[in-house]
Amino acid sequence: MKKKLLFLSCFLIFTLYPFFVNTSFSGEKGAKSGSVIFYEGKNKILCSFKVEFAITEFEQTMGLMFRKSMDKHKGMLFIHKDDEIRHYWMKNTYIPLDMIFIDSNKTVVDIYKDARPLDETTISSKAKARYVLEINSGEADNCGIKRGTKVKITIDK
């Protein structure tokens, strides 16, 4: 009985979720948000992204699933408690993405480019990361982001 109830609950959440969320991310009001800034040297800014934070287990589970588009220089920053090898997938994600893995020192430690929409293959970081930034595919290259690039994370007030 408990298994059936759990299955039904999960089924309803994943089935009805798209009808209750904005399927395009352009910085929804009320969402926890901020910016991720990539730079080299002391002051040379490479790129800046306006991001929605995914902090809770539910936010991280849903991620960018069911969203049909995302504006340029927007993204989602997954914030974990510590540095670990991170595992992601593209289930129910319709936007091709670059995934940037960032450690607790705010340094890029890995980049997975051009994750394919709806692909359920596990994408794992090659190094331990605390943060994972998902942005539109191609933006990591366009901004010159590479392993070793430094990052600053700001929070909107």
Its domain, for residue 151, covers 2-155
| Tally of domains in the chain | 1
- CA distance from start to end of the chain: 45
CATH number of the domain residue 93 falls in: 2.60.120.1140
Partners of 74 in the β-ladder: 50
From first to last of its 157 residues, the chain has per-residue pLDDT tens of 544 444 444 444 444 444 344 433 444 344 489 999 999 988 899 999 999 999 999 999 999 999 999 999 999 999 999 999 999 999 999 999 999 999 999 999 999 999 999 999 999 999 999 999 999 999 999 999 999 999 999 999 8
Give me 56's structure tokens: 């809770």
Strands (E), the chain: 24-25, 33-40, 44-54, 69-70, 74-84, 87-88, 97-102, 108-115, 123-124, 129-136, 150-155
